[in-house]
Amino acid sequence: MSDKIKIEKKVLSANDRIAAEIRAKLNQHHIPSFNMVSSPGSGKTSLLEKTLAHFKDKYNIAVVAGDVQTENDANRLLKAGGQIIRPIVTNGMCHLDASMVEKSMAEFELDKIDLFVIENVGNLVCPSSYDLGEDLKVVLISTTEGDDKPLKYPGMFRRSSVMVINKTDLVEYCDFSIPQVIENAHQINGQLEVFQTSCRSGAGLENWYDWLEKLIQSKKAQ
């Protein structure tokens, strides 16, 4: 085994220990959680803006928003009505790791949180290797990126539980087939639940909200 692989294994196993602690803490407080992953610009922040605005008067949603260099995403989420938003600036790192999330969560009052969301760095490769203690991963893909992406970046689609096909308002202008991307994604992961949304037109958002509502209620009942 090369030195590089040995060190990577060590880093990942340290990460997994912290992730397990985060998971235990969230479970103890009956807080469902997901880790949102995608290429840069697929619409993670836009979907969260809509989600925060929609649930503003009903649920307390905490978000840690990862970014390579700026706090722009966190600022957008605050403007959208988010109350419990923390930026994580990775300073050039290509993914979030569990220790960053743990530090960022430290000040949260967990008794007052109904849903915990991690917005990862925009990157369809590296974030797939890092467990952040979440219940599940939600991968976004936009209709402008090409329907072959699940086959070309299979790790992320294999490790996700939900795929959101976003920017459906642009599909008519792109060489992108929604049935094809679903078929490609299911070839990698037959269990993937699929949503189709347009944050611009609002199409499909109700289904996404319904799913979140159920996620929150079923975790509260546990």
Does residue 125 interact with a copy of itself by CB under 8 A?
yes
In this structure, the dihedral spanned by the alpha carbons of residues 185, 187, 191 and 197, taken in order and rounded to 10 degrees, is: 20
Does residue 72 interact with a copy of itself by CB under 8 A?
yes
Residues 27, 84: Cα–Cα separation, whole Å: 19
What is the closest distance, in whole angstroms, from the C-beta atom of residue 169 to a copy of itself in the complex? 7
What is the closest distance, in whole angstroms, from the C-beta atom of residue 49 to a copy of itself in the complex? 12
Residues 140, 41: Cα–Cα separation, whole Å: 10
Does residue 203 interact with a copy of itself by CB under 8 A?
no
What is the closest distance, in whole angstroms, from the C-beta atom of residue 208 to a copy of itself in the complex? 20
Stretch in the footprint of a copy of itself (CB under 8 A) among 39-47, 48-56, 100-108, 208-216: 39-47
Does residue 202 interact with a copy of itself by CB under 8 A?
no
Alpha-carbon distance values, 64 to 85, 126, 133, 147, 155 (Å): 6, 18, 13, 29, 23
Single out the residue of 152, 180, 183, 218 in contact with a copy of itself (rule: CB under 8 A): 152
The conformation of residue 13, written as its DSSP 8-state character, comes to H
110-136: burial string, b at 16+ Cβ within 10 Å, e else: eeebbbbbbbbbbbbebbbebbbbbbe
Single out the residue of 18, 121, 185, 216 in contact with a copy of itself (rule: CB under 8 A): 121
69-80: burial string, b at 16+ Cβ within 10 Å, e else: eeeebbebbbeb
Stretch in the footprint of a copy of itself (CB under 8 A) among 4-12, 19-27, 55-63, 130-138: 4-12
What is the closest distance, in whole angstroms, from the C-beta atom of residue 117 to a copy of itself in the complex? 19
Residues 122, 82: Cα–Cα separation, whole Å: 20
∠ CA 149-154-160, rounded to 5°: 100
What is the closest distance, in whole angstroms, from the C-beta atom of residue 46 to a copy of itself in the complex? 9
Site residues (vs a copy of itself, CB under 8 A): 3-4, 7, 10-11, 39-41, 67-70, 72-73, 92-94, 121-126, 142, 144-146, 148-149, 151-155, 167, 169-170, 173-174
